[in-house]
Amino acid sequence: MLAESNPSESYLKAEPSAECSPGRFRRSETEAWQNTEFPFPPAMPGTVAFLELLVASNVADLEAITALIRDDVGLTVQLLALAFGEAWQGPPSRLRVEELVVHLGLEKLRLMVAGTRVLSSPPAGDRAFRACKEFWIRSRRTARTAEALAAGTSAADRETAYIAGLLCRIGMLPALLGWEVPGIASLTPAEMGSHMLQAWNFPPVLVEIIRGDEQACTSVRTRRLLRLIRAADRQAFAAEPVTVATRTPAR
């Protein structure tokens, strides 16, 4: 169970999360607390609604909160950005979602949820929206495959593999969501992804894996994890039909 250290009524009365449709989420619309070069990705509406209920309690279910965040690209990005960002003191040394949740505590989790934009559902047949949903599904599949492939490694490597698998195609999101990012056309998805993670102050191991360049890896561990993520992404791609968001196989 996750206990609250300093209860705050303002978080309990937070306004409902704003919606984000593909093509509508511009950098100028980011929340004031998102002091980064890139806006954070939106999250799935059902996941955000359930998470709001869980963090509203003074004593919350740590396992359930962790599972929800870990299963959503947007929420995972925000959790890591808050935990490792300059705004909060003493970031944890290990890359484990459960530990990051404990590190932040309920107050900051409520702040995160209150500022989370949800991926809204536009009129039926919207190609961009379908591509975004497919992206989330593909990301979860890659993450779970990566975690399974890392089963024989340490707990730290398994969690890093899961998160890297979830975010391995994060560089495709600006185009899918219609973000107005200068120079986006000149960057590959891998280059864009690593640039995004650097802007969010993510751990170097994730930045290097998402960059996808073995020669640029600074450790044997990172190079090994990069190869594992590539294998997981290929397996995830092979397990599903070719669609708008997943037509490009692993690099």
- Would residue 251 count as lying in a domain? no
Instruction: Determine contact, residues 36/136, Cβ cutoff 8 Å.
Output: no
Q: Identify the residue whose tokens are 């944890």.
A: 92
Q: Digits of tens for pLDDT over the chain (251 positions)? A: 665 543 333 332 333 345 554 444 333 333 434 545 788 999 999 999 999 999 998 888 999 999 999 999 999 999 999 888 754 555 555 789 999 999 889 999 999 999 999 987 654 457 777 888 899 999 999 999 999 999 988 888 999 999 999 999 999 999 888 888 777 778 899 999 999 999 998 999 999 999 999 999 999 999 999 999 999 999 988 876 555 444 554 45
Model confidence, pTM: 0.80
Please give the tally of structural domains in the chain: 2
Task: Specify whether the CB–CB gap between 179 and 169 falls below 8 A.
Answer: no
Query: Same domain for 107 and 138?
Result: no
Q: Which of 97, 119, 141 is the last residue of a domain?
A: 119
Other Cβ atoms within 10 Å of 26 Cβ, number:
13
Q: Based on the domain organization, do 158 and 214 belong to the same domain? A: yes
Domain membership of residue 115 as a residue range: 15-119
- Residue 95 confidence (pLDDT): 85
Could you tell me if 75 and 54 lie in one domain? yes
Residue 107 sits in the same domain as residue 177: no
Angle at 144 between CA 115 and CA 98, to 5 degrees: 50
Residues 139 and 99 in one domain: no
From 86, 119, 152, the end of a domain falls on: 119
State whether 147 and 191 are in the same domain. yes
